[in-house]
Amino acid sequence: MQTLLVIDDSDSVRQVIRDGLGGDFRVLEAQNGLEGLKVLERERVDVVVLDAVMPVMDGAATLRVVRARGHRMPVILLTSETKTSRIGTLLALGAQELIVKPMRIEELRRKVGELTTTKPADVIPADDASSAARRAAARLPVLLVDGNEGAVARFWAAAPSFADLESCTDLTAALAAGARSQYRAVILDAAALQKAPGDLVGQLRRSQPGAHLVGVFLRTTPDRAAAARELGLDAGLYKPYVAEDVTHLLEGVAGLPRTIDADGGRFTPHPLPAAVEAHGAFASRLKEELLAAVEQAAEASLARVWLDIAHPMPHPLLAPVVGAVYGRCTELGLELGIIDAAGVVAAMGRALVDEPLRIVDSADLAD
């Protein structure tokens, strides 16, 4: 029997779906996106029914994380939204179908049936096997210790796709988790640290000798690094979490020379290194990461990806990268657009590739 996961904060909606599809599917339930993500980490799921508006972690943020984590099962969004632009945005995040509320169970049953008979969740196409293996090899096990459910959800949304995340509410639970698994990073909320009795941080350090221990502080803390050192930790983060900060920290822990920020189907290259002799290696790594990101976008069923050239880059470096990305997009059936807010493309006075590309000067114009 195939498994359906319904993520919706409405008890009545979950009940209707359970009663309507429970005879044909094993139905799992979650009240918000964070709970749903935890289910997906421990269960094989064939199809997800996802509410767009929920507390803690809404449908858009949940879907973004689901696809970033490599889950490729079909997703059906439930929404009361009727604006075409907003619906298009939700579908572009990687949903296969959308049902406008009030939901009719007959429509849902039909769409679930179509998706589960045509899109097996666990099939990896042969030509994607190597890229899947590369992603699996680069996983970074991370434990987040925070008793605030909303903060946990925001960390999930901010963390890069190569992080394998677990969470618990306090240091006692963290020690229990550490007895079962070894982590590369343990992220500790300062409030949890203040409530911890005795030398739990020392015990955690001894149980996780290879882990990077990171404290999380409010922005009223003037120096997060100094505050972390006082607590016997290796580094500090601020909350509310900023995706760039979280990614930069975990890249450092993983030892990955990342060159792009990826947000759904929008890819922003980092600035060139200051040392000119490092430019060639940077461009080579940039092309590799962009091609991998395009593959993930195709797996998430996106129709278009955007290359956001936010930082100047010499034409001899940029043109081959864009040409390679355009070629891969063409192979996979994706459209490529360029966001040229810095005027990099305009300054070149000619196209980066022979074929015409959609070029806009603002991210707001990227649909």
User: Which pLDDT band, with edges at 50, 70 and 90, does 197 fall under?
Assistant: low
Q: In this predicted model, what pLDDT tens digit does every residue of 82-138 receive, in sequence order?
A: 666 667 777 777 888 889 888 999 999 999 999 988 544 443 333 343 333 334 445
Q: What is the DSSP code (8-state) at residue 170?
A: S
- Of the candidates 161, 139, 114, the one whose C-alpha atom is nearest the C-alpha of residue 295 is 161
- As a whole number, mean pLDDT of residues 231-238 equals 89
Query: Whole-number mean pLDDT of the chain?
Result: 83
Residue 6 and residue 193: Cα distance in Å, rounded? 35
Task: State the pLDDT at residue 216.
Answer: 95
| DSSP string for 232-300 | T-SEEEEES--HHHHHHHHHHHHT----EEEETTEEEEPPPPSSGGGHHHHHHHHHHHHHHHHHHHHHT
Q: Check pLDDT > 70 for residue 355.
A: no
Element (H, E) at 216: strand 212-218
Q: Check pLDDT > 80 for residue 183.
A: yes
- As a whole number, mean pLDDT of residues 68-72 equals 78
Task: State the pLDDT at residue 314.
Answer: 86
Which residues share a beta bridge with 305? 336
Q: Check pLDDT > 90 for residue 14.
A: yes
Task: State the pLDDT at residue 198.
Answer: 67
Task: State the pLDDT at residue 283.
Answer: 86
Q: Check pLDDT > 70 for residue 176.
A: yes
Residue 281: CB atoms within 10 A of its CB come to 13
User: Which pLDDT band, with edges at 50, 70 and 90, does 280 fall under?
Assistant: confident
Q: In this predicted model, what pLDDT tens digit does every residue of 294-340 receive, in sequence order?
A: 988 888 888 899 999 888 888 888 888 988 999 899 999 999 999 88
Task: State the pLDDT at residue 354.
Answer: 56
Task: State the pLDDT at residue 137.
Answer: 41
> What is the separation of C-alpha 60 from the centre of its chain, rounded to a whole number of angstroms?
11
- Strand ranges of the sheet holding 26-30, from the earlier edge strand across to the other edge: 26-30, 3-7, 47-51, 75-79, 97-100
**Domains recognised in the chain with CATH numbers:** 3-118 (3.40.50.2300), 133-254 (3.40.50.2300), 260-365 (3.30.750.24)
**0.85 exceeded by the pTM?**
no
The CA distances from residue 176 to 19, 133, 171, in Å, are 38, 30, 9
- As a whole number, mean pLDDT of residues 196-200 equals 74
